[in-house]
Amino acid sequence: MTAPPDVDLYARGTATLLATWEEYARGAPGAAVHRFEGVAAAVFPHGPERGVYNNAVLGRDLLPAERTAALDAMEEAYATAGITRFAAWVHEDDRALRADLERRGYALDETTRAMGMSLDDLRVPRPQLDLALPDWTEYLRVIEVPTDLLAGADHAAFHVVVARLDAGNAAAAMAYHHGEDCGIYNVGTRAHARRRGLGSAVTALLLHDARDRGRRTASLQATPMAEHLYARIGFRDLGRILEFVPA
């Protein structure tokens, strides 16, 4: 298969991310992903999801009037839900949109790296891991988030891997499949097991499984610390995602 161009990989990754948030929202009281022209806003009014998933993905290369309408719609969606803390996600290349957010008083809070790949470019063999049962609560414990996170979601919709080391659960990751794409999320390793390659291994295992299930591409958002690990697996750099928050 010819590798998709970067713009296509970015679009696929964004579509998978939004589909994942919609799956989360189905099991969270009052939650929804609102899609407007130029923006999709994930609204989670109650905890613990409220502190994690209130994010909006803004479109790229919007015209000035479209940018204004998208930002107005985003702000109204969160204001209606009583949410004052949320993040507006912008691709680093979109200087005009960044300037519009700054004029409204938003400040840059965090950055991640959008990455994507054709699964034909997977560079590592299927890892041989000591796997635990893919228990949702244990998965959350390993990645060190509240164990009641997404308690009402359909956990069968996600592909979870939990790897063991020295008779204890040490690393975990999750995938969500949307169309031909596999989104990789929440890769985590317990402190005592870090720098042993487990994060890369659980990611690679999910990618091999996705390819076996007929997926053709994969996507994720990488922290600065993990970018080189994913690049070694075969992911390509698609640009930084800048997360702006209201002042």
Residue 208: pLDDT band with limits 50, 70, 90: very high
Domain count for the chain: 2
Q: What is the DSSP letter of 247?
A: -
Name the token pair of 45: 């009014």
Q: Report the 3 state secondary structure along 40-66.
A: EEEECCCCCHHHCCCEEEECCCCCHHH
Res 4 pLDDT > 90: no
The predicted model gives 70-92 an average pLDDT of 98
Mean pLDDT of the chain: 95
Enter the DSSP assignment of 67.
H
* Residues 122, 98 share a domain: no
DSSP state, 28? S
What DSSP state is assigned to residue 193? G
Instruction: Give the CB-side neighbour count of residue 105, counting CA atoms within 13 A.
Output: 3
Q: Where a domain ends, among 68, 83, 114?
A: 114
Distance (Å, whole) CA 134 – CA 80: 37
pLDDT of residue 118: 97
Its domain, for residue 24, covers 6-114
Pair 38, 101 in one domain: yes
Domain boundary among 114, 146, 162: 114
pLDDT at position 2 is 63
If asked whether residues 108 and 123 sit together in one domain, one would say no
Mean pLDDT of 207-217: 98
pLDDT value for 232: 95
- Average pLDDT on 117-130 reads 96
Say whether both 141 and 78 belong to one domain: no
Mean pLDDT of 135-144: 95
Clarify whether residues 85 and 176 are in a common domain.
no
The sign one gets for the Cα dihedral 121, 124, 125, 128 is: negative
Contacts of 225 (CB under 8 A, 6+ apart): none
Distance of alpha carbon 54 from alpha carbon 42, whole angstroms? 5
Residue 194's pLDDT band, with cuts at 50, 70 and 90, is confident
- Report, as an integer, the average pLDDT of 219-237: 95
User: What pLDDT shows up at residue 76?
Assistant: 98
- Asked if residue 1 has pLDDT above 60, the reply is no
Angle of CA points 70, 186, 211, to nearest 5°: 95
**What mean pLDDT comes out for the span 206-213?**
98
**Judgement on whether residues 156 and 87 belong to the same structural domain of the protein:** no
The tokens describing 108, both together, are: 């840059």
| Element of type H or E holding 185 | strand 181-189
pLDDT value for 78: 98
pLDDT recorded at residue 167: 80
Summarize the confidence of residues 134-162 as an average pLDDT: 95
Lowest mean pLDDT among 1-15, 90-104, 130-144: 1-15
Show which of 114, 143, 162 is a domain's final residue: 114
What's the pLDDT at 195?
84
Q: Are residues 106 and 160 in the same domain?
A: no
How far apart are the two ends of the chain, measured CA to CA in Å? 46
- For range 18-41, the mean pLDDT: 98
